[in-house]
Amino acid sequence: MAMTERPTIDQTSTVSPRQAAQIQELVRKAAATDGYAALNEAATLALRYDEPATIHLLACCGSELVGYAQVSNTAGNSTGVLVVSPSARRRGVGSALLTQLLENARTPLWIWAMHDTVAAAKLAEKFGLVRARELLIMTRTLAGSPVPAPDIPAQVRIRPFRVGSDESAWLQVNARAFASHPEQGAITRIDLEERMAEPWFDPAGFFLAEADGRVGGFHWTKQHADHRGEVYVLGVDPDAAGGGLGTALLRTGLRHLADMGNTEVQLYVEGDQKRVIGLYADHGFTVTSRDVMYAQPVRDTPEPRLRFKPMDVQEN
């Protein structure tokens, strides 16, 4: 496409079905070119559910959508994402969208740059944004690499999640396991039900560790296409920490993913969580990529409450 005009940017808090389809097609085209999705799970769900705290920006040339961005102004933080059509890059679309993101952010903007690209780094530098956070993407093969059997602590039973009866117990242990994480620890029943409604959800791959009738930890796995599984969320109640429960849950989930025919497993982990990264490395995971968050350099800016960034185990 030859772009000879500056894009117009439409701003909305409610995306129509037609606009949603255009955005999804734009994201698909970008992924086919880049090899990764420009929108993470949080951004995808914000688009799907039309959350009132989210502002959507659509950059168009004529009737063609050439770029999309969103900013979620929640819990005192403004978190954004941005994607430009492969045919419209290096023509100012990204700069125009980022300008609008900054104007619509109610607090200093934090914005994701998936897979830490040079282009994203240059755009961030142009606007004075600084590298503030890294989310490591780690993978391991399952083909020809058997997962050790879990050494389950005494009195503990690991079983699948029961839809309709385990929701409250899981919400409680999740809040305790991630009490210091304002995002993961703040998950509500509605948030949980949204994820349980996703096509990938399978309670057979959602493991709870129970002792004396109380849930002490969990490993929620996720199934992707192309024989690829994910360590989606892994957490342990502080009262159950220190006895190897996290390791047992990790191995239980990995063995399940292997039994499902997956040949690869991925996970996301904060780049500063050295102990947890070591646990994953001990189980064959290596860093294959990273997502980076850039932020406006404002002194004493709090950590963003990023809605449902994949979290990692708190205790091995």
Please give the single-letter amino acid code of residue 105: A
Instruction: State whether 169 and 116 are in the same domain.
Output: no
* pLDDT at residue 185, rounded to an integer: 80
- Answer yes or no: is 182 within a domain: yes
Instruction: State whether 284 and 155 are in the same domain.
Output: yes
Rounded to whole angstroms, what are the CA distances from 249 to 47, 79, 229? 32, 32, 15
- Answer yes or no: is 315 within a domain: no
Rounded to whole angstroms, what are the CA distances from 74 to 52, 105, 243, 306? 10, 10, 36, 9
Listing DSSP states for 143-180 in one string gives TT-PPPPP-PPTT-EEEE--TTTSHHHHHHHHHHHTTT
- CATH at 71: 3.40.630.30
* pLDDT at residue 307, rounded to an integer: 40
* pLDDT at residue 88, rounded to an integer: 95
* pLDDT at residue 299, rounded to an integer: 61
| Nearest by Cα to 205 from 240, 238, 232 | 232
- Answer yes or no: is 308 within a domain: no
- Answer yes or no: is 303 within a domain: no
Instruction: State whether 32 and 168 are in the same domain.
Output: no
What's the structural domain count of the chain? 2
Angle between helices 41-49 and 17-34 (to 10 degrees): 160
Instruction: State whether 124 and 143 are in the same domain.
Output: no
Instruction: State whether 205 and 174 are in the same domain.
Output: yes
Instruction: State whether 18 and 145 are in the same domain.
Output: no
Instruction: State whether 12 and 85 are in the same domain.
Output: yes
Q: Which residue among 68, 95, 128 closes a domain?
A: 128
- Strand-pairing partners, residue 83, are 68
* pLDDT at residue 305, rounded to an integer: 46
Count other C-beta atoms under 10 Å from residue 315's C-beta. Answer: 21
Instruction: State whether 70 and 178 are in the same domain.
Output: no
H or E segment and range at residue 265: strand 264-270
Q: What angle do CA 221, 223, 228 make, to 5 degrees?
A: 110
- Answer yes or no: is 313 within a domain: no
Provide the residue-wise pLDDT of the chain in tens; the chain has 316 residues.
455 578 999 999 999 999 999 999 999 999 999 999 999 988 998 898 878 889 999 999 999 999 999 999 987 789 999 999 999 999 999 999 999 999 999 999 999 999 999 999 999 999 999 999 999 999 999 988 899 999 999 999 999 999 999 999 999 999 999 887 756 787 889 889 989 999 999 999 999 999 999 999 999 999 998 899 999 999 999 999 889 999 999 999 999 999 999 999 999 998 988 988 999 999 999 999 999 999 998 765 455 544 444 444 444 4
- Answer yes or no: is 309 within a domain: no
Nearest-angstrom CA–CA distance, 66 and 87: 8
- The boundaries of the domain holding residue 235 are 139-291
Instruction: State whether 144 and 265 are in the same domain.
Output: yes
* pLDDT at residue 9, rounded to an integer: 97
* pLDDT at residue 116, rounded to an integer: 94
Evaluate whether 223 touches 260 at the Cβ level (below 8 Å). Answer: yes
* pLDDT at residue 315, rounded to an integer: 43
Instruction: State whether 101 and 143 are in the same domain.
Output: no
* pLDDT at residue 294, rounded to an integer: 97
Q: Which residue among 128, 161, 195 closes a domain?
A: 128
Q: Which residue among 128, 162, 177 closes a domain?
A: 128
Instruction: State whether 250 and 145 are in the same domain.
Output: yes
Work out the end-to-end distance of the chain between its first and last CA atoms, rounded to an integer number of angstroms: 52
Instruction: State whether 209 and 175 are in the same domain.
Output: yes
Taking CB atoms within 8 Å and a gap of at least 24, the contacts of 243-246 are 243/153, 244/151, 244/153, 244/316, 245/153, 245/156, 245/209, 245/216, 245/217, 245/315, 246/217, 246/279, 246/313, 246/314, 246/315, 246/316
- Answer yes or no: is 314 within a domain: no
- Answer yes or no: is 158 within a domain: yes
Count other C-beta atoms under 10 Å from residue 299's C-beta. Answer: 5
